[in-house]
Amino acid sequence: MKKTADASISNPDIGIYDLAVIGTGMTGMAASLIAADRGLSVVQAGLTGEILFSSGFFDFLAIHPVREKRYWTNPWDAVHALVQDHPDHPYARISAQTMRHAWDVLISFLEREGLPYHREPDENIRMITSQGTIKSTYCLPLTMQPGANGLKQNLPCLIADFHGMREFSAVQIAESLRSQWKGIRTLRVHFPGTDGLTELYPEHMARALELPLNREKLAMLIKPHVKEAKLVGLPAVLGIDKSLQATNDLSEKLGLPVFEIPTIPPSVPGIRLKETFERALPQKGVKQFLQKRVLRASFEPDGLFRLDIGSVSPEHTIKARAVILATGRFFGGGLYAERDGIRETVMGLRVVQPAARSEWHRDDFFDPSGHPINHAGIETDDLFRPLAASGSPAYPNLFAAGSILAHQDWIRSKSGVGLAVCSAAAAVESCIYLREGKR
């Protein structure tokens, strides 16, 4: 069902697509994936994307209400409760069926592309981080899963780290977890082939561990220290393209399960996701303009959007029957905060926001109710169309998805990827629904 852009009759240089996705973060990638699967011709443009800053975890929803820090084992129950309490939350506009479908599409896609994830159907998973904290998430890379298991069962564990890897201390993890995961021992080794190097960078380490020889050397360094341990934890640097093979290979060599521990972003699991999407989406017919931004977007008299895409000046112009805005928040570049107010950067859409800058943030960084600015963003109708000040959709065929949406706090409620993927799926559905309605 691959479909490519129609050639425009009036201007052969301008391709017309069913859908233009602006943004290459998790939301943009999911929107392109789901839309391509549904048979739409898709064009996608964006800068690097926050996907590089992914820890590898896919959160759905773990905390509600944020102020009470209430933890939910079952994310679906959490969603249900959230929607009851906050009917304006984006999740309230998405059916459970759409959500399940979105997750299935994402997880099966990654499985096919060699980046398998693990999830319990209706349960959040608890896993350790490089800070020695415990985090709840919905899906995690299969390469991390034995760690979640080890934590649950309190298995004797060896955590190894490397000279020169400054953000990862096995001792810190063991000490911080002392009361919750007993029996962690630690080991520090020299990363194979890094004599004379001072600072080690996770991406370089991961690429080195793509080579079987380096894994062999690493296994030899660790093996004598395994002793009573039932599993071995390492920072998430076990390969890029074939992380599961690398992890399994190391497990075989050591004779016990090996798992990865997520590290501070930008991290290797983020690179894996980015490279997987960038490799596989074009194969599904998605036309990607990476490292490019949409410099100008205009709604044309023919009801289509015209997008000028380029780095500094326009290099490509395309037209699209619908647009999904998946540009993220401040860090992603979808929103920009001036000293006197917040604006949306691509279309100049209305941004729902606190009345004054003094109300953006709480005095305490860890204020239990979170920062009001995190609820600012784009307000939409039930079809995820941004609303103008009048209360009607700003454009009939413009949709917004992901963290740019108002009335949510993905950070505190632990719902980043869930919000990205589910709202992307909902926006794609709306887009198809409106097209078919018109026919």
Contact assessment for residue 315 and residue 342, using Cβ atoms and an 8 Å cutoff: no
Rounded to whole angstroms, the Cα distance separating 372 from 247 reads 42
Report which secondary-structure segment, H or E, holds 309: strand 305-310
Q: Please, what is the minimum distance in Å from the beta carbon of residue 7 to other proteins?
A: 39
Instruction: Read off the tokens for 379.
Output: 């307000």
Q: Mark 158-197 with x for binding to other proteins (rule: CB under 8 A) and - for no binding.
A: ------x-xxxx-xx--xx-xx--------x-------x-
Task: Specify the residue, 105 or 268, whose C-beta has the smaller distance to other proteins.
Answer: 268
Q: Please, what is the minimum distance in Å from the beta carbon of residue 81 to other proteins?
A: 17
Q: Please, what is the minimum distance in Å from the beta carbon of residue 129 to other proteins?
A: 5
Which residue among 9, 224, 312, 339 contacts other proteins (CB under 8 A)?
339
Chain CA centroid to CA 96, Å: 20
Rounded to whole angstroms, the Cα distance separating 438 from 428 reads 16
Residue 37: C-alpha distances to residues 93, 110, 263, 265, 363 (Å): 22, 14, 32, 30, 46
Q: Does 364 bind other proteins (CB under 8 A)?
A: yes
Which residue among 10, 13, 198, 224 contacts other proteins (CB under 8 A)?
198
Residues in region 221-280 near other proteins by CB under 8 A: 262, 264-265
Rounded to whole angstroms, the Cα distance separating 96 from 108 reads 18
Q: How many chain residues interact with other proteins (CB under 8 A)?
A: 57
Q: Mark 396-435 with x for binding to other proteins (rule: CB under 8 A) and - for no binding.
A: --------------xxx-x-x-------------------
Residues in region 66-95 near other proteins by CB under 8 A: 69, 71
Instruction: Read off the tokens for 55.
Output: 């820890």
Task: Specify the residue, 68 or 252, whose C-beta has the smaller distance to other proteins.
Answer: 68
Task: Specify the residue, 287 or 293, whose C-beta has the smaller distance to other proteins.
Answer: 293
Nearest to 265 by CA among 70, 47, 48: 48
Contact assessment for residue 157 and residue 233, using Cβ atoms and an 8 Å cutoff: yes
Contact assessment for residue 125 and residue 137, using Cβ atoms and an 8 Å cutoff: yes
Q: Does 138 bind other proteins (CB under 8 A)?
A: no
Q: Who's near 136: CB < 8 A, 6+ residues apart? A: 59, 62, 63, 71, 124, 125, 126, 127, 414
The sign of the CA dihedral 146, 61, 38, 311 is negative
Rounded to whole angstroms, the Cα distance separating 2 from 39 reads 6
Which residue among 1, 312, 366, 437 contacts other proteins (CB under 8 A)?
366
Q: Does 353 bind other proteins (CB under 8 A)?
A: no
Task: Specify the residue, 168 or 384, whose C-beta has the smaller distance to other proteins.
Answer: 168
Q: Does 201 bind other proteins (CB under 8 A)?
A: no
Task: Specify the residue, 268 or 280, whose C-beta has the smaller distance to other proteins.
Answer: 268
Q: What is the binding site for other proteins (CB under 8 A)? A: 53, 55, 57, 59, 63, 69, 71, 129, 131-136, 164, 166-169, 171-172, 175-176, 178-179, 188, 196, 198-199, 262, 264-265, 329-331, 336-339, 356-358, 360-361, 363-366, 368, 371, 373-374, 410-412, 414, 416
